[in-house]
Structure 1
Amino acid sequence: MRRAAVAVATGAMAVSLAACGSADKADGGSGSSSSSAAKGDNIRIGLLLPENQTARYEKFDRPLIEAKIKELTNNKATIDYNNAKQDANLQAQQVDTMITNKVDVLILDAVDAKAVKNSVQKAVDAGIKVVAYDRLAEGPISAYTSFDNVSVGKTQGEALLAALGGKAKSGQIVMMNGSVTDPNAAMFKKGAHSVIDGKVKVGKEYDTKEWKPENANANMEAAISALGKNKIVGVYSANDGMAGGIITALKAAGINVPVTGQDAELAAVQRIVAGEQFMSVYKPYAPEAAAAAEMAVALAQGKTLDSIAKDKVDSGSAKAIPSVLVPVTSLTKDNVNDTVLKDGVYTYDEICGGKYKSACEKAGVKQ
């Protein structure tokens, strides 16, 4: 397992991501439970991840979180794991199983941030604290860690405008946003629009069901048909998986325009090196995973989060949630060496093997 050597970064300024309706202040574990503290390192932590369509969850998030929990507990913690495979109903059943198994804390990356609210409440009613991971789940969660998701969208929008240059006004772009069940998708979308609105015309915009590449591919084919292939100057794609489906549709139509992405998936890095995809957003998973593990262990042991979570975030149902927000980097062919290679996310041979060797040489990717 490779671990990106990046320190956990936190901001000093409180961030409000949503503050609608009435909400209670989150329980960040400020009180100490003698029963929790008595457990020491012999704790049980549940980990629920949302899907396996995106490569990151099984390749990075799960092993990084599990390794950090083991490190923090001298290898004594028990970890119960499940992946919901993009099924909100299945994830609700998995939460029930975690409650039955009497985990001390649940790290939850929600398939549907709103639908999971009742499950979060059930867990809390059973005495289980919930750490929302990567997506801001509704309900009485005790802690949250993710990336600065509005900044992700801004980074994508800025990169797309830079790639378009003087061509920004010469045609239209297609926006391929993420799933409406993922609150992060709305933040990516908001950030991107804050940068591109008024600077380029959006010809077609889609909220792509379940983040699936095949759905993005179908949407892109529809956009090409509606707009005409000579009218499209660029594509905003909210993540790399969808970018792959989009690029397949563009190639089939004989279109070569800048396409954004997110997650720095291996296939995307290779497309970037080869000039097929303009950029991705590199999100160092190690600090996000470490923050989730640290908060979960602290809560399970009855400790406060004061030294871990320096940010505060509001959801639609909780206020002042102790949070860790991790910054991101725009990944292009110019900084592959200084990001995913330097941090050990991928090796040179993984990126530059086979047909990508000559492209890597041209792009200056070094062993």
Structure 2
Amino acid sequence: MSRSTIHLPRSARRLLSTAGALALAGVLVVGCTSNEPDEEDNEGDGEAAPASDENSGGSSNDETGETVTIGFSGPEADHGWLAAINSSALEEAEKYDDIDLRATEGTNDPGLQIQQVETFINEGVDAIVLLPTDGASLTDVAQRAMDAGIPVVNVDREFSSPFAARTTILGDNYGMGVSAGTYACQLIEENNISDPVIAEIAGIDSLPLTQDRSEGFAEALSNCGQEVDNRVAAEFTVESGEAEASNLLQAAPEIDIIWNHDDDQGVGVKAAFENAGRDEFFFIGGAGSCNAMDWIENGEMEATVLYPPTQAADGIRLARLIAQGKGMSDLVQVAVPRRIVLDAPVVTADNVDEHREGCFDS
């Protein structure tokens, strides 16, 4: 088994990155186990001291605590979004000098990933953050970790059993579709498009995430009396995106709105548009790549719907809290929730600057 161990100290700066800022649906900020200020903080003028360092944007839970060992196993970085998942986890761990991160080599082999988790169990790590190659295949080994008293944070691809993870953090695939469909309805109304032709370029149709995105899109469109007229499914790759977009354009001589599920395959989709000389439609993307941000700024794309690549970074922060017995002060029940679903906002020319720092390279 190929494996590397990384010991990552916190950097001198405590300014949270955009990855941290997007964490927990942009709502839940990591906080103290108690909502009450410490007595020593109230000495002096009688006013409570702020919970964080100046300009840190965090809370006293970011202060150094007991060192915890966190095992991280993520995917092979063969896709821009997946590469960003891995890098965001490593970068987040660097912010804390009380995290001893054991990061394995990314893999798409469930068997190898099972071995990686087994090694974490044998080493007796304090917590495991796992984005499984396949949720069902990794369920049993994650359950073994939990049975051994090691909390598991499940990222993005869910296990088959709720008992296999202490906490699950997910992007909102159904919400992506809803956001894209709702924005398409807005475009139809604002531009007075009568009898619009709406197209969809999905990802791998056999995957539940693709099915959820398509279902959300269709249901949002139905709210404004519309439906998908032309649909193709690609494979989340540049090559498949170009091939399937070309097929779509040949089948539909006129299109008003196109939603492409994935900005990585969108590189090929965009190439197909250019090769066909077609630009009569509003083009909506998905995930939030830097390419998409560029296209939006240049007027070559109407919008993209975020699927945050910060989920593993959020997982690292949550694993640290759980292993240290801490919670989240913005909740009345401060214990870390068992399930967190991140937001899927629409990025347009009006707010692209707000999301630019969180984009990923395709």
TM, length-normalised to structure 1: 0.68
The question of 1:133 aligning with 2:155 is answered yes
The change in CA–CA distance for 1:237 and 1:75 in structure 2 (over 3 A counts) is same
If you compute each CA radius of gyration, which structure gives the higher value, 1 or 2? 2
1:65, distance to aligned residue in structure 2 (A): 3.0
Structure 1 position 123 matched with structure 2 position 137: no
2:228 match: 202
Of 178, 192, 195, which aligns to 2:217?
192
The 5 A counterparts of 1:274-289 are: 274-282=298-306, 288-289=311-312
Structure 1 residues 295 and 178: alpha-carbon distance in aligned structure 2, compared to 1, 3 A threshold? same
What is the rounded CA distance, in whole Å, between the counterparts of 1:65 and 1:111 in structure 2? 16
User: Letter of the aligned partner of 1:41 in structure 2?
Assistant: E
Q: Which residue of 2 aligns with 1:3?
A: 17
Secondary structure (helix, strand or coil) at the match of 2:286 reads coil
Q: Provide closer, same or farther for how the CA distance between residues 75 and 113 of structure 1 changes in structure 2, counting only shifts above 3 A.
A: same
Distance in 2 (CA, whole Å) between partners of 1:181 and 1:91 is: 22
How far apart in 2 are the matches of 1:97 and 1:179? Answer: 32
SS at match of 1:132: strand
Unaligned runs of 5+ in 2: 1-10, 29-64
Cα shift at 1:143:
0.2
- 2:323 aligned partner: 300
- Whether the 8 Å CA contact 2:178–2:219 is kept in 1: the answer is yes
Matches within 5 A, 1:210-229: 211-225=236-250, 227-228=251-252
Structure 1 gaps, min length 5: 13-39, 312-319, 351-367
Q: How far has the Cα of 1:207 moved from its partner?
A: 4.3
Percent identity between the two aligned chains: 20
- Quick one: distance in 2 between partners of 1:284 and 1:309? 22
Query: Contact (CA 8 Å) 1:291, 1:324: kept in 2 or not?
Result: no
Matches within 5 A, 1:234-249: 234-249=257-272
Aligned 8 A contact 1:309 1:324 in 2: no
Cα separation, 1, equivalents of 2:331 and 2:77: 28
Q: Which residue of 2 aligns with 1:94?
A: 116
How many correspondences in the alignment? 300
Which residue of structure 1 aligns with residue 187 of structure 2?
A: 163
**Aligned-residue CA RMSD (Å):** 3.5
Give the match for residue 57 of structure 2: none
Alpha-carbon distance in structure 2 between the residues aligned to 1:224 and 1:241:
19
Alpha-carbon shift at residue 309 of structure 1 (Å): 7.7
Structure of greater relative contact order (alpha carbons < 8 Å, 6+ residues apart) = 1
Cα distance 1:122–1:196, how it changes in 2: closer, same or farther (>3 A)?
same
- Name the amino acid aligned to 1:264: G
**Cα distance change of structure 1 residues 279 and 88 upon mapping to structure 2, 3 Å threshold:** farther
Query: TM-score of the superposition, structure 2-length normalised?
Result: 0.69
